[in-house]
Amino acid sequence: MDDLPERGSRGFDPLGRGADTVFVVRQGEMLRAYLDRCPHYGDTSLPWRKDRYLDAAGEAIVCAAHGARFDPATGACLLGPCLGQSLTAVPLDLNPQGELTIAIESLQETFP
C-alpha cells in the first residue's frame, strides 16, 4: 500500500501477459482494483501511459481512448459513452504487512 500515492493508481500484470491487466486505485485509505478494460469497448486499455489511470486531480478514472470518466470507489461510469456501465471490480485483499493480493483465479477466466 505504501507504494501507491494517496491519490494514485498503478497497473499490474499478474498473469505475466506482457501488459497490465489489472490496476489499483488509492484515495486515502480506500483501495479498489479493476480490470484494465473499458466497458465501452471490451479490450481497450484505460491509461494514456503506464499507471496513468486517474485524471490530473486524482478524482476520477479516465479512459484515454473514449474520454469516459469513472468513480474510483464504485467503478461506475460518470461521463462518456458507457453511462450505465461499470468497470469490472477485482477482489483485493490487504494483509497485515500492507501487501496487496488479488484473486488470480478470477482473472484467468477473463484472460484465457
Express each pLDDT in 46-62 by its tens digit: 998 999 999 999 999 99
More confident call, 84 vs 2: 84
**Which residue bears the cell 485483499?**
93
Count of domains forming the chain: 1
Q: Report the percent of the chain where pLDDT is more than 70.
A: 91
Q: What is the pTM of this model?
A: 0.89
- Residue 110: its pLDDT value, please? 67
How far apart (Å, rounded) are the C-alpha atoms in residues 9 and 25? 4
State mean pLDDT over 22-28.
91
Give the domain CATH number at 39: 2.102.10.10
With respect to residue 24, please indicate whether it lies within any of the assigned structural domains. Answer: yes
Domain of 98?
Answer: 7-107
Residue 33 lies in a domain: yes
Q: DSSP label at 88?
A: P
Distances (CA, A) of 77 to 1, 6, 15, 22, 63: 25, 22, 26, 17, 10
Nearest-angstrom CA–CA distance, 34 and 91: 8
